[in-house]
């Protein structure tokens, strides 16, 4: 804070508080509560978060979280039950005790299924007092903090995209960005990599790689043109893996690379703007 790094200071403060709370929780886990999971659901506007704290041998071993859009407090039972079925179905294990923040509609059937995974009875409960209640409140606070942090990250990302649009003179912040880079081994085996960012976040399922078929070895300009042409042609052919077109192309390189890319964009009648990225002072 003394260095005016207020966002960094706030993030560190929140981490310190979380560590303090988790440290306190360690002191109250013992005996009958040494093998349990705590699952809590919290809502902030139309987004929910499930947090699961996993205790083994009295120690906090792991934390899981998952976000859900378009939900309300009324969806708590369905969201928690769906999370539990997915998680325990995947791990094929269950603790002896599971504390939950909301009652479930089909709690008995779910408990029987969990018991079949454990080969012994599993107890589900919504604690109202005592040590179990403290653990549940800790999980709820974790879920609330996760929602707050996600909202802060999204606000920061949205502002970054607004600044990018202002810098480049775009009418609107680019919701989808595709970036291209050419790499090769000693001037041969050229490959173009296409990375995609949706709402400012990496969309790895949309990443693509192009091995050069026509461009000559070491011809970065030709390789960039070929990669863009093939990418746009796949979209023109209706390939769902290359749709939709982005709001912005970012090219690794300066004016030369951008110039050859713009020729391809004109040739393919594509109005998506392209800008180069170079390392400088």
* β-pair partners for 79: none
Instruction: State pLDDT tens for residues 38-47.
Output: 999 999 989 9
pTM above 0.75, yes or no: no
Residue 8 predicted with pLDDT over 60: yes
Question: Quick one: which of 280, 279, 272 has its CA closest to 178?
Answer: 272
CA–CA gap between residue 141 and residue 107 (Å, rounded): 24
Structure tokens at 86: 């997915």
Residue 77 predicted with pLDDT over 90: yes
> Looking at per-residue confidence, does 184 or 196 come out higher?
196
> Looking at per-residue confidence, does 117 or 34 come out higher?
117
Q: Chain-centre distance of CA 250, in angstroms?
A: 22
Instruction: State pLDDT tens for residues 96-113.
Output: 999 999 999 989 999 999
CB 253 within 8 A of CB 220: yes
Give the 3-state secondary structure of residue 112: helix
Residue 30 predicted with pLDDT over 70: no
CB 208 within 8 A of CB 233: no
Instruction: State pLDDT tens for residues 206-259.
Output: 999 999 888 877 788 999 999 999 999 999 999 999 999 999 999 999 999 999
Instruction: State pLDDT tens for residues 146-182.
Output: 999 999 999 999 999 999 999 999 999 999 999 999 9
pLDDT at 188: 67
Structure tokens at 45: 């506007």
Residue 25 predicted with pLDDT over 90: no
List of residues 6+ apart from 211 with CB closer than 8 A: 189, 190, 191
Give kind and range of the element (H or E) at residue 159. Answer: helix 130-168
- For every residue of 161-194, DSSP letters joined together read HHHHHHHHT-SS--SEEEEEEEEEETTEEEEEEE
């Amino acid at each position: 804070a003394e260095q005016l790094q207020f966002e960094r200071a706030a993030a560190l403060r929140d981490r310190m508080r979380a560590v303090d709370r988790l440290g306190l929780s360690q002191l109250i886990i013992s005996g009958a509560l040494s093998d349990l999971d705590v699952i809590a659901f919290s809502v902030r506007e139309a987004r929910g978060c499930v947090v699961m704290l996993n205790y083994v041998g009295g120690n906090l071993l792991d934390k899981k979280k998952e976000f859900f859009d378009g939900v309300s407090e009324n969806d708590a039972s369905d969201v928690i039950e769906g999370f539990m079925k997915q998680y325990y179905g995947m791990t094929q294990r269950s603790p002896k005790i599971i504390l939950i923040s909301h009652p479930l509609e089909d709690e008995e059937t779910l408990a029987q299924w969990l018991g079949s995974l454990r080969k012994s009875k599993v107890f589900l409960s919504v604690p109202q007092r005592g040590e179990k209640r403290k653990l549940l409140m800790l999980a709820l606070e974790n879920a609330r903090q996760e929602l707050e942090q996600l909202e802060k990250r999204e606000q920061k990302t949205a502002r970054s995209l607004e600044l990018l649009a202002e810098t480049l003179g775009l009418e609107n912040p680019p919701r989808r960005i595709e970036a291209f880079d050419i790499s090769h081994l000693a001037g041969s085996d050229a490959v173009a990599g296409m990375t995609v960012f949706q709402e400012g976040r990496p969309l790895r399922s949309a990443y693509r790689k192009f091995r050069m078929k026509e461009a000559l070895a070491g011809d970065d300009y030709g390789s960039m043109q070929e990669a863009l042409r093939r990418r746009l042609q796949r979209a023109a052919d209706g390939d769902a893996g290359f749709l939709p077109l982005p709001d912005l192309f970012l090219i690794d390189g300066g004016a030369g690379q951008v110039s050859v890319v713009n020729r391809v964009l004109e040739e393919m009648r594509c109005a998506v703007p392209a800008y180069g990225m170079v390392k400088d002072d």
